[in-house]
């Protein structure tokens, strides 16, 4: 192996591969299963390495997550027959009435619905992909609005409105799940 190759790999490891956990986490939440997440990560890292010579930006994490997203979307396009994942469908929860963030509940209800691990996890899983990914990028990956805008290739204003809608949607699902659980009990 040429010396420059070994240097390139070391640099790639230090700059880009150190964000592999974030990349995997994002991929997992996008596609909901570990096998697809692993495939997406491998494909995205190969693409990132091939394009690494042209990488000029200073935010390697946002760059890698952008490639993860593109890989996920292009795989979806390739496997359109897979009806399981319908990405970025804004209207997948039309049957649940919106529970606006300002609809007031008793502190006990708020405490119970926000502190039930199963309900919270299931609620995030139920979000459509567009809303789920923005919640994950913001809360779990702790990215700024500007970094999220770069990854989603949209304006910061769009990030603001999408995040606001995502939280309203998450609140709706949490309340709906909580009420269903209460009825069953």
Shortest Å, Cβ 24 to other proteins: 4
Q: Cβ neighbours of residue 178 under 8 Å, at least 6 residues apart?
A: 109, 112, 113, 116, 119
Residue 48 tokens, joined: 């990132």
**Measured distance CA(184)–CA(130) in Å, rounded:** 30
| Residue of 11, 14, 46, 180 that binds other proteins (CB under 8 A) | 46
| Residue of 151, 170, 176, 177 that binds other proteins (CB under 8 A) | 170
Nearest to 173 by CA among 132, 105, 122, 137: 122
Beta strands (DSSP E) in 5-157 are none
The answer to whether 25 contacts other proteins (rule: CB under 8 A) is yes
Q: Closest CB to other proteins among 60 and 135? A: 135
Instruction: Kindly report the backbone phi and psi dihedral angles of residue 112, in degrees, each rounded to the nearest multiple of 5, phi listed first.
Output: -70, -45
The answer to whether 90 contacts other proteins (rule: CB under 8 A) is no
Residues binding other proteins: number (CB under 8 A): 57
| Residue of 3, 5, 54, 183 that binds other proteins (CB under 8 A) | 5
| Residue of 15, 49, 76, 96 that binds other proteins (CB under 8 A) | 49
What's the CA dihedral at 98, 100, 104, 110 to 10 degrees?
Answer: 80
Residue 12 tokens, joined: 């790639």
- Pick the piece of the chain touching other proteins (CB under 8 A) from 63-71, 83-91, 102-110, 177-185: 102-110
**Measured distance CA(53)–CA(59) in Å, rounded:** 15
Backbone φ/ψ region at 54: left (φ over 0), alpha (ψ -120 to 50), beta: alpha
The answer to whether 157 contacts other proteins (rule: CB under 8 A) is yes
**Residues near other proteins (CB under 8 A):** 1, 5, 8-9, 12-13, 17, 20-21, 23-25, 28-29, 34, 37-38, 41-42, 45-46, 49-50, 53, 100-102, 104, 110, 114-115, 117, 120-121, 124, 135-136, 138-140, 144-146, 153, 155-158, 160-161, 163-164, 167-168, 170-171, 174
């Amino acid at each position: 192996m040429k010396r420059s190759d070994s240097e390139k790999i070391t640099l790639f490891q230090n700059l880009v591969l150190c964000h592999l956990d974030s990349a995997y986490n994002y991929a997992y939440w996008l596609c909901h299963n570990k096998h697809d997440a692993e495939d997406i990560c491998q494909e995205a890292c190969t693409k990132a390495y091939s394009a690494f010579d042209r990488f000029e930006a200073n935010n390697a994490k946002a760059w890698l997550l952008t490639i993860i997203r593109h890989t996920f979307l292009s795989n979806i396009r390739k496997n359109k027959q897979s009806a399981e994942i319908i990405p970025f469908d804004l209207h997948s929860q039309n049957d649940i009435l919106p529970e606006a963030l300002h609809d007031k509940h008793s502190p006990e209800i708020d405490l119970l619905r926000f502190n039930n691990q199963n309900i919270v996890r299931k609620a995030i899983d139920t979000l459509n992909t567009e809303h789920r990914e923005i919640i994950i990028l913001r809360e779990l990956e702790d990215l700024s609005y500007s970094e999220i805008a770069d990854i989603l290739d949209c304006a910061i204003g769009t990030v603001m409105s999408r995040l606001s809608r995502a939280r309203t949607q998450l609140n709706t699902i949490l309340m709906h799940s909580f009420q269903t659980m209460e009825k069953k009990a």
